């Protein structure tokens, strides 16, 4: 277990965090499974449900309504973070958004979000920086790094920075990516002496390599992915970044030889789907444990393959070892206590791309009954974006009992149970997935008016129209108009 070591310098990190997800969702064990079994499991509905729920680890996926996009989701999360933290929006000097599903090819989505925040709180915030960070799912981590470093360099002009991760994950229907979609945003307020999580200095490690595992060429609405290969690239990059992190962290914390699970009480992963966190834990800890005689001797009785000397050379030997380890009581207990609490939201929401790692943080806070018990504990955050880059860093909880009021769980309650969630029929889901339709197929989707909402927007930001004027007086073709809907 890692504990907070007080540094004489000011700490910098996350003061407050808030999650926003669309109210619409697809229940992957309902009508969707009936409709897709012919494609995915030769008509066997139970087999498909078992695979999606157990094998992949998702139960529901959030789907945006026609008036929602990455900008409205981001603004909603931002408003919640500002309100939860009880701060004045004028105290924010930097709004950085990480997204890979932006709404414009040129304009920073952060500028749209800023406009919505200004209108919602009836304030002017002209003196802020508002960049967009893009690198698949790791974009928000780069945004967080920039915000944290701004405070460390004492270049900030206001007490807070706002970092938002927002995305709508979309794969073509009837492909294996379909059940790993989702949508949502996570907003984080960054400042000095944060109440939630102090980010450890001089420990983060980043690796990048030019890869083709997942990308979205200009003009395409859905991602191109080589599913199994993307898992391999994730594991390779993450392992490398975790090794580099460990080298720096051991030195920074003066803990030579410590393993990552000794430095951190919880490991939070980028979660494209919950089983991925298990694959990554098996790879990273499986390697750490078999190379450390202090723990290897404890595991060997249950996992004799831990002594196999071919693991590094032979992928089959590695697979067999990781399978045996996965089935062991030792690993199951470790996973249940150290990683599972960070996966509960993702099982109900799906992949929210750049926000997935931060959804894991919110999830850990939501599912820890006694949040005060987390104070002083160090967590490792393992971020990944396809294409491909991984960054591993860590942080230490300060006062998680008071700093954060989780809301996502109540947002995930169904309407008939007093929540705001609405299950989608397959027909409505497919209509929303295809986006607005044009009479002539030459008009790009971004110039079309939003389609009719399934549920009229209420107490939320909505995309109300897309500009269509091109005259001597005014040009706004394709500009997106967002309004707060009472
Ligand atoms: P698939 O073909 O659906 O899955 O692809 P599978 O056939 O490999 O089965 C998955 C697991 O389910 C297996 O478990 C099966 O045995 C098990 P394992 O052998 O691995 O332990 N299974 C069952 N379990 C229980 N009951 C059953 C049953 N049937 C089978 N009845 C895949 C899965 C994830 C590849 C696919 O959904 C996909 O392509 N998804 C999109 C890509 C993706 O998410 N990649 C992740 C890594 S890349 C990343 O994280 C970046 C990303 O977020 C984007 C970004 O950075 O911007 C994606």
CA dihedral of residues 347, 333, 378, 141 (deg, nearest 10): -30
Mean pLDDT of 356-365: 97
362 Cα to the center of ligand 1, angstroms: 23
Using a 6 Å cutoff on CB, does residue 400 contact ligand 1?
Answer: no
Q: What is the pLDDT of residue 202?
A: 97
Average pLDDT of the segment spanning 297-316: 97
Residue 409 pLDDT exceeds 90 = no
CA of 276 to the centre of ligand 1 (A): 8
Residue at 303 is within a domain: no
Q: What pLDDT, on a 0 to 100 scale, did the predictor assign at position 5?
A: 43
What's the rounded mean pLDDT across residues 179-198? 97
Per-residue pLDDT, averaged over 283-292, amounts to 98
pLDDT given at position 404: 77
Q: Ligand 1 in contact with 98 (CB < 6 A)?
A: no
% of the chain at pLDDT higher than 90? 93
CB of 274 sitting under 6 A from ligand 1: no
276 falls within a domain: no
Please, is 17 exposed, middle or buried when counting C-beta atoms within 10 Å of its C-beta (0-12, 13-18, 19+)?
A: buried
Ligand 1 atom nearest the C-alpha of 138 is 56
Euclidean distance between CA atoms 25 and 16, whole angstroms: 26
Q: Tell whether ligand 1 has an atom less than 6 A from the beta carbon of residue 55.
A: yes
Average pLDDT of the chain to the nearest whole number: 95
Q: 50 alpha carbon to ligand 1 midpoint, in Å?
A: 12
Task: Give the C-alpha separation, 310 to 368, whole Å.
Answer: 39
Give the whole-angstrom CA distance, residue 132 versus residue 270.
20
Please indicate whether residue 272, judged by its CB atom, sits closer than 6 Å to ligand 1.
yes
Which CATH number do you get for residue 154?
A: 3.40.47.10
In the predicted structure, residue 97 carries a pLDDT above the cut 70: yes
**pLDDT at 7 (0 to 100):** 47
**Whole-angstrom Cα Rg for the chain:** 22
Mean pLDDT of 433-438: 87
Q: How confident is the model at residue 4 (pLDDT cuts 50, 70, 90)?
A: very low
Query: For residue 220, how many other CB atoms are within 10 A of its CB?
Result: 11
The residue-averaged pLDDT of 330-359 equals: 98
Residue 376's pLDDT band (cuts 50, 70, 90): very high
Q: Is 426 within the bounds of a domain?
A: no
In this prediction, residue 1 carries a pLDDT of: 36
Sign of torsion, CA 246 249 254 258?
negative
Backbone dihedral region for residue 136 (phi beyond 0: left; psi -120 to 50: alpha; all else: beta): left
Q: Would you state the pLDDT for residue 6?
A: 44
Instruction: Look at residue 403 in the predicted model and tell me its pLDDT.
Output: 76
Find the mean pLDDT for residues 361-383: 96
Is residue 307 assigned to a domain?
no
Would residue 249 count as lying in a domain? yes
Distance from the alpha carbon of residue 56 to the mean position of ligand 1, in angstroms: 5
Domain tally for the chain?
1
User: Residue 139 Cα, ligand 1 centroid: separation in angstroms?
Assistant: 23
**β-strands 389-397, 205-208 pairing:** antiparallel
Q: Looking at the domain assignment, is residue 309 inside a domain?
A: no
Residue 276 CB less than 6 A away from ligand 1: yes
Contact between residue 392 and residue 244 where contact means Cβ atoms under 8 Å apart: yes
* pLDDT exceeds 90 at position 215: yes
Question: What pLDDT score was predicted for residue 2?
Answer: 37
Query: Is the pLDDT assigned to residue 133 strictly greater than 70?
Result: yes
Residue 246 is part of which domain span?
A: 12-271+343-417
| β-strand pairing of 460-466 with 60-62 | unpaired
Does the residue 23 lie in any domain? yes
Q: Decide: 385 in ligand 1 pocket, CB within 6 A.
A: yes
Give the residue, out of 41, 48, 51, with the most ligand 1 atoms within 8 A of its beta carbon, to mutate for a pocket test: 51
pLDDT confidence band for 443 (50 / 70 / 90): confident
Task: Find out whether the beta carbon of 47 lies less than 6 Å from any atom of ligand 1.
Answer: yes
What ligand 1 atom has the least distance to the C-alpha of 226?
A: 39
479 part of a folded domain = no
Query: Does the C-beta of 172 come closer than 6 Å to ligand 1?
Result: no
In tens, the pLDDT along 137-184 reads 999 999 999 999 999 999 999 999 999 999 999 999 999 999 999 999
225 pocket-lining for ligand 1 (C-beta < 6 Å): yes
Report the predicted TM-score, pTM, of the whole model to 2 decimal places: 0.97
Atom of ligand 1 nearest to the CA of 271: 50
């Amino acid at each position: 277990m890692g504990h907070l070591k007080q540094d004489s310098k000011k700490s910098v990190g996350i003061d407050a965090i808030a999650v926003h997800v669309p109210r619409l969702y697809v229940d992957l064990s309902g009508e969707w499974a009936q409709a897709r079994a012919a494609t995915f499991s030769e008509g066997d509905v139970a087999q498909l449900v078992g695979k999606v729920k157990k094998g992949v680890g998702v139960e529901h996926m959030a789907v945006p309504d026609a008036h929602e996009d990455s900008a409205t989701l981001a603004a909603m999360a931002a408003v919640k973070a500002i309100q939860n933290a009880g701060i004045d929006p004028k105290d924010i000097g930097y709004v950085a958004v990480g997204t890979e599903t932006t709404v414009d090819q040129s304009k920073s989505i952060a500028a749209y979000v800023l406009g919505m925040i200004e209108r919602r709180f009836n304030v002017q915030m002209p003196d802020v920086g508002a960049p967009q960070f893009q690198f698949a799912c790791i974009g928000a981590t780069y945004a967080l790094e920039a915000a944290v470093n701004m405070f460390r360099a004492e270049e900030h002009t206001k007490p807070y920075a706002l970092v938002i991760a927002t995305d709508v994950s979309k794969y073509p229907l009837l492909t294996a990516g379909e059940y790993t979609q989702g949508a949502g945003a996570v907003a984080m307020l960054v400042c000095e002496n944060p109440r939630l999580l102090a980010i450890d200095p001089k420990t983060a490690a980043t690796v990048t390599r030019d890869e083709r595992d997942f990308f979205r060429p200009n003009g395409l609405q859905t991602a191109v992915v080589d599913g199994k290969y993307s898992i391999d690239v994730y594991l390779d990059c993450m392992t490398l970044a975790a090794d580099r992190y460990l080298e720096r962290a051991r030195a920074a914390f003066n803990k030579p030889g410590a393993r990552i699970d000794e430095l951190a009480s919880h490991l939070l992963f980028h979660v494209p789907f919950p089983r991925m966190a298990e694959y990554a834990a098996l790879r990273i800890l499986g390697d750490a444990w078999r190379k450390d005689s202090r723990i290897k001797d404890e595991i060997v009785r249950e996992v004799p393959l831990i002594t196999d000397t071919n693991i590094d050379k032979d992928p089959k030997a590695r697979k067999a070892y990781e399978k045996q380890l996965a089935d062991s009581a030792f690993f199951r207990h470790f996973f249940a206590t150290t990683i599972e609490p960070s996966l509960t939201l993702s099982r109900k929401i799906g992949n929210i791309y750049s926000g997935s790692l931060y959804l894991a943080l919110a999830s850990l806070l939501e599912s820890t009954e006694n949040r005060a018990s987390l104070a002083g504990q160090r967590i490792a955050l393992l971020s990944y974006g396809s294409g491909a880059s991984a960054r591993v860093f860590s942080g230490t909880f300060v006062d998680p009992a008071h700093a954060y009021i989780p809301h996502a769980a109540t947002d995930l309650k169904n309407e008939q149970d007093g929540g705001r969630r609405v299950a989608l029929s397959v027909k409505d889901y497919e209509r929303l997935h295809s986006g607005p339709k044009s009479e002539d197929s030459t008009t790009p989707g971004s110039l079309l008016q939003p389609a009719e909402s399934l549920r009229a927007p209420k107490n939320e930001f909505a995309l109300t129209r897309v500009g269509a004027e091109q005259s001597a007086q005014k040009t706004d073709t394709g500009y997106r108009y967002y309004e707060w809907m009472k």
